[in-house]
Each structure stands twice: as C-alpha cells, then as structure tokens.
Amino acid sequence: EVEKISWFKEARFGMFVHWGLYSILGGTYNGRTMPDTALANGKSWYAEWIQQRLEIPNNEYQALVEKFNPSRFNADEWIKEAKNAGMKYFVITAKHHDGFALWDSNVSNYDIAATPLRGRDILGELVDACKKYGLKYGFYYSHWQDWEHPNGAIPYWKPARKSRDFEKYWKEKSLPQVQELIERYDPDLLWFDTWDEEAKELITPARRDELIHLVRKLSSKCLINGRIAMHDPGNEIDFLEMMDNAYPKQLLDKPWQTPATMNHTWAWHSKDFNWKSSGQMLRYLVSNASKGGNYLLNIGPKPDGTLPPPAIRRLREMGAWMLTHGEA
Ligand code: JFZ
C-alpha cells in the first residue's frame, strides 16, 4: 500500500497562488500604496493584507466583489506553466484572511457567486487542469483569521472584537467551508495558517484536533500542514511548514516544505519589483531537495487572471534547468 504522503516526499517543487479580492487593488488603495517590503515593524505588508494595513472599511473592501472579473483567466494556462516548470503540485488561496471564498459557498454569500464571474467554478477549472497535467492540488484555507465574519479572528495589533464568539465563527463558517472544499474538490492537501499569540488562544489543541478529525473523516488522502497550529501542531499533521522564505540548514524528522515568494509580496503588488533571480530560486530548490524538503513557490496573478510576465519568465527559466537536471 502506498503511503498517502509519498507523492509529497518526492514532489520537491510546487506552485502556490495568492489570488482574491485584494488582487484587484495590487497594493494601492485611494492613492496610497503599501510598502513593498514583506515585513516592516514586525507587521505583514503583503498585498493580500491591504484591507487591514490601509484600514479599508469593511463595506468599501467588500464592494470589490463587483469588480472581481478576471476576463483573461485560463486555468489550463496556469497549470501548463507549472507543469513546464517541473512543478508537481498546486496550492491556491480558496479563502485568505479577508474571508472571501473563491468558490460558491453554501454557508457564506461573500464568495465568487457574488462577483461578475457567478456561474464559473474557478477552483473546479483549476482542479480539472491539475488532473489533466498530472499535478496534485490543494487549498490554502484561513481557518483562524476571518475579517468578514463578525466572530472571526483579526490581526494582533487590533483589540479583539467586542464580545467575539469565536466558536460561532468556527462552527458556522470555518468547519463547514473546509467540509465543502473536501466534498466538492477532493484536495490532496490543505494549507492552514497560524502564527501569533492569539492563535494559541483560539486554535486550542481541542479545535486543532476537531479540524484534523473532520478532514480525516472526509478524506483518506488529504494531507494537513503544520501551520494548522504552529504553536502546537501535535502528532497528527502530515508535514511541517517552514516560516515564509525560511530554509532549514539541517535535516528534519518529518516531511516539510518552504513557502516562498518570487518578489516580496504573495498577492499581486503592482509596485513590488524585488524579483529574485531564477538562479537564486533554483539554489533554494536544490538546497531544500538535498534535505528532503519541498519548495512551494508563489505567484500573485493579476486581477485580469493572467500571471505577471516577470513570474512567467522565471518559471520558464527554472523549467529549462529542470528539463536537464530535474529528474533522476
Ligand atoms: C501568512 C499570511 O498572513 C500571508 O498573507 C501569506 O498567506 C503567508 C503564506 O502566510 O503570513 C505570515 C506567516 C507567518 C508570519 C507572518 C506572516 N510570522 O510568523 O510572523
């Protein structure tokens, strides 16, 4: 019997995608542009954080649903680029911290069905393309932070919402949406995300296990990453998730991966020109591979649905190297 983790241990290279309402803004709102540094003053300045960092009121940010209209989105083209780069799996933000679902969710109206794309099943199209090209696929799901649901967690520099009932969010949105993702798309992995002090309080071992057991009940193949509870992942997770752009120097005792950016930001930022060279990124890939780890390299597609040209160029350069050195 093949272990469910075996494909992951051999995969080495995957594509990560951050795409959602924040992509429409590309790092700028009302003439204000976010810094193009990943972390400044200990805070995330990533483009997908624009709602919080520029303090955009919920009603203004949520109005972006009317503008999410990626007319040039073509799932086949994205996944073909990943395949040609030598990537073996694909992970996309099904829901990031802003709370917006990139699929038609039954438990929330803050989703793709509220956009001009209603009727299109973006995640389904991507899943079909992954199957066509033989890539494994999974979803980033923000199980802890949710800036739309009145009871979801919000960033650490803000006081907790008054009389927040996290359990309500957990039962009403977080768990049901994870269930939907598994039942509709049968993912090979789920990418959960926690990191700070507040996560310790909210993602208790009991909630962590509740979520893990839900995934296990619904799927016999779906892998779970260590950031489901970075402070205390327990023994049931399938692989470790390094910090963003962090490359371990030693061997680790579980399968692992590094989530990495090509420039500073994850989501599209029109003024972030800090592109790493393909050579640099190949060195990270090889370094991780030599220690049994994977390299999950991120792209932030543009609001029209296309991949940024500097990202495409790097994927193709890396793919050219992979053609001759990628496989034994
Ligand atoms: C998280 C997200 O907030 C971010 O938007 C992106 O999705 C990334 C892959 O994951 O970013 C982090 C994770 C960990 C820390 C900071 C930002 N940390 O430990 O300080």
Ligand 1 cavity residues, CB under 6 Å: 44, 46, 48-49, 193, 195, 243-244, 259, 266
Q: Please give the residue that has the higher pLDDT: either 81 or 164.
A: 81
Is the overall model pTM greater than 0.80, yes or no?
yes
* Sign of CA pseudo-dihedral 50, 243, 249, 254: negative
Ligand 1 binding pocket mutation candidate from 244, 257, 262, 299 (most atoms within 8 A of CB): 244
Run of H or E residues at 95:
strand 89-95
Torsion of CA 95, 99, 101, 104, to 10 degrees: 150
Q: Whose CA is nearest to atom 3 of ligand 1?
A: 44
Give residue 122's identity as a one-letter amino acid code.
I
The Cα 311–Cα 289 span in angstroms is: 22
Work out the average pLDDT over 70-96. Answer: 98
Instruction: Render pLDDT for 286-318 as a digit per residue (tens, 0 to 9).
Output: 999 999 999 999 999 999 999 999 999 999 999
Residues of the chain with pLDDT > 90, as a percent, come to: 86
Give residue 2's identity as a one-letter amino acid code.
V
Mean pLDDT of the chain: 94
Residue 8 Cα to ligand 1 midpoint, Å, equals 22
Query: In sequence order, what are the residues at sequence separation of 6 or more whose Cβ sits closer than 8 angstroms to the Cβ of residue 82?
Result: 14, 15, 90, 133, 135, 315
* Structure-block tokens of residue 206: 């009991």
pLDDT at 38: 60
Cα 200 to chain center, whole Å?
Answer: 21
Residue 260 Cα to ligand 1 midpoint, Å, equals 11
pLDDT at 283: 97
Least confident of 20-29, 108-117, 149-158, 258-267: 149-158
Q: Whose CA is nearest to atom 15 of ligand 1?
A: 195
pLDDT at 136: 98
For the chain, the farthest-separated pair of C-alpha atoms sits apart, in whole angstroms, at 58
Report DSSP state, residue 10: H
Residue 244 Cα to ligand 1 midpoint, Å, equals 7
Determine how many CB atoms are found less than 10 A away from the CB of residue 79. Answer: 25
